[in-house]
Chain A
Amino acid sequence: MSDDHRFKVEFCGLQLSSPLVLLSGCVGFGEEYTRIQGFSNRDVGAICLKGTTLEPRLGNAPHRLAETTDGMLNAIGLQNPGVEAVVQEILPSLDFSQTRFIANVSGSTVEEYREVTRRFDDSPIDAIEINISCPNVKEGGVAFGNDPEMSARVVEACRAVTQKPLITKLSPNQTDIRHNAKRCIEAGSDAFAVINTVMGMAIDVETRQPVLHNNQGGLSGPAIKPIALLKVHEVYQVCKPHKIPIIGQGGIVHTNDAIEFLIAGATAVGIGTGLFYDPLCCQKITRGMAEYLDNTGLSHVNAVTGSLEMHTDATEYT
């Protein structure tokens, strides 16, 4: 784990050695990247495991990926072995001394979210992320996440069955993310992950068909970073009075991307697609953040969080 005390952050009760978090869907069930020499789970504060449902799911038919300008689309469709296999077979193989592991709970019904959460509650997992924003399944996912009342119902159901920290992963594909965040806090959410992917499509001009077999998918990478930053800023306004922390995520590849999210209000920052650009990017981002603290004279990364200074003289000329 990082020895630099300036990076240790408290995140809804979790002590993270670094504000860097590896994002669900990009790093399998936590150990896949460790095959790369030089990569260590110790380099990050937490790892969000692959989205998990009550029963095993095979996911969507290929093609599941499409590269886009400054990003990519994915439509994996929550391929996973089911919560029982994750708890019984995968969690025992994880080295919890290296980092914190966060389960990502998905479902098609409120009851499924609750049951998967209940199963993880009786496991060594450190925290639970509620994925109400997966754009790539026919039922549940973003259909819940785009409706503040449904989002709150899911959070409430999960809250009822666990005392572990609950992180709600919010969708950018909704009218007012602030209202959704407010309802989720009232329902018992301890933290937020902002944002999930933005729904999109790529078209093959030769076949005139969508590139993705699922027709549409979730856009990630630097292309969505400005959207994500604004959403983090908006959710931060709701969270700040409640001291609810945010994992800011969406297009972080380099140090300055991460710092922008901290400034916008994130306590931790998520790396997903950035790993596809550079599987060893976390070490570089950490070094860059250390330089940033040195250069700015700030004593701790927490001092960066929410330090955004808005223009107060914004003027509209007519």
Chain B
Amino acid sequence: MESEQNPIFEECARVTHHDALAAQQFVLRLSAPECARHAKAGNFLHLQCDPQRALRRPFSIMRCDPAAGWVEVLYKIVGQGSAELAARKSGDMLQCLGPVGNTFRVHENTTHPLLLGGGVGIPPMIFLAETLRGNPGLHPLAILGSEIPFPFPTRPSKILAPDVPKEVIAAMPLLDDWGIASRLTSLQGYPGCFHGYVHELAERWFLNLDHAAQKGVQVFACGPNRMLEAVSEFCRRHALPCQVCLEEYMACAVGGCAGCVVPYRENNRMVAMKRVCVDGPVFNAASIF
């Protein structure tokens, strides 16, 4: 993967919607026209949760509408910063730096993009899915996992996914509406969900594909590191190209402080410390895990 030198905008963004969901999850929509106009799947926003805080917080962009000028993120309260963000109401203003980071790259020979999202790693998969919709040459499948209630109402999918066990039918309605097959996984026994992890359902799906389809699979993943490690291992076993979207504590978000690095490997040897903010957040899985 390469870093991308696109312009970054500092905007005073207005909160237009802020919806509280189950398990302290929130969807925040901001009016930030420049960020919305330039955002691509994989990019993130660096949001000032409170003016007194030294560090902003990075949030993957879930959706954007360049024409309407809004960007949307999904987050869960995990600390003081996100708790302060959760207190922001419609009409509030907050400083927003973005869009930051590189983007997912779909290879030319990809026919079956496999999008894997775990927990708060779901948002960039939704953004990527939106960019794939309506492409007749692609047959994407999104597998989303969560151990807390999903941040959207689930429903049985209207889209056939013949290589997924037929009892696994729960889907994300938005993706269904876009014509993109999705399936859900959880260990919590939610109806219609696969009982297991995203990489386990992914492997079952992959093994059911015919050989030609298998050759067109490219994997994109975002979620907790343990999930990404498992996904990377699955991809290594089957020699699948895989891009992972990472998160790390971050200060400047423009590559100036080298605070957000991740060890980067080539041929199983650590050769560099890459900055998640500008060298990523999207990396080839084999270089990280």
Interface residues of A (CB under 8 A from B): 25-28, 32-33, 35-39, 50, 58-59, 61-68, 70-72, 74, 76, 79, 221-222, 273, 275-280
The prevalent SS among residues of B at the interface is loop
Which residues of chain A have C-beta atoms less than 8 A from B116's C-beta? none
- Min CB–CB distance A209 → chain B (angstroms): 15
Question: Which of B48-56, B117-125, B190-198 makes up part of the contact surface?
Answer: B48-56
A62→B248 CA distance, assembly (Å): 9
Which residues of chain A have C-beta atoms less than 8 A from B51's C-beta? 277
Query: A275 with B55: in contact, given A36-B9, A62-B261 (CB under 8 Å)?
Result: no
Which residues of chain B have C-beta atoms less than 8 A from A26's C-beta? 252, 256-257
Which residues of chain A have C-beta atoms less than 8 A from B272's C-beta? 58
Closest 7 CB pairs of A and B: A65-B259, A28-B256, A32-B256, A65-B249, A32-B255, A27-B256, A72-B54
A–B complex contacts, Cβ < 8 Å, 16 sampled: A27-B252, A32-B252, A33-B256, A36-B8, A62-B260, A62-B261, A64-B249, A64-B260, A65-B249, A65-B259, A67-B53, A72-B54, A72-B55, A222-B54, A273-B54, A277-B51
A28→B34 CA distance, assembly (Å): 25
Which residues of chain A have C-beta atoms less than 8 A from B53's C-beta? 67, 277
Which residues of chain A have C-beta atoms less than 8 A from B54's C-beta? 67-68, 70-72, 221-222, 273, 276-277
- Min CB–CB distance B253 → chain A (angstroms): 8
A32→B5 CA distance, assembly (Å): 10
Which residues of chain B have C-beta atoms less than 8 A from A38's C-beta? 10
Query: A72 with B251: in contact, given A33-B256, A62-B261 (CB under 8 Å)?
Result: yes
- Min CB–CB distance B105 → chain A (angstroms): 20
* CB nearest to A29 among chain B residues: B256
> B282 at interface (Cβ–Cβ under 8 A)?
no
* CB nearest to A278 among chain B residues: B95
Task: Determine if A62 and B262 form an interchain contact, defined as CB atoms under 8 angstroms apart.
Answer: yes
Task: Determine if B263 and A65 form an interchain contact, defined as CB atoms under 8 angstroms apart.
Answer: no
* CB nearest to A64 among chain B residues: B259
> B273 at interface (Cβ–Cβ under 8 A)?
yes
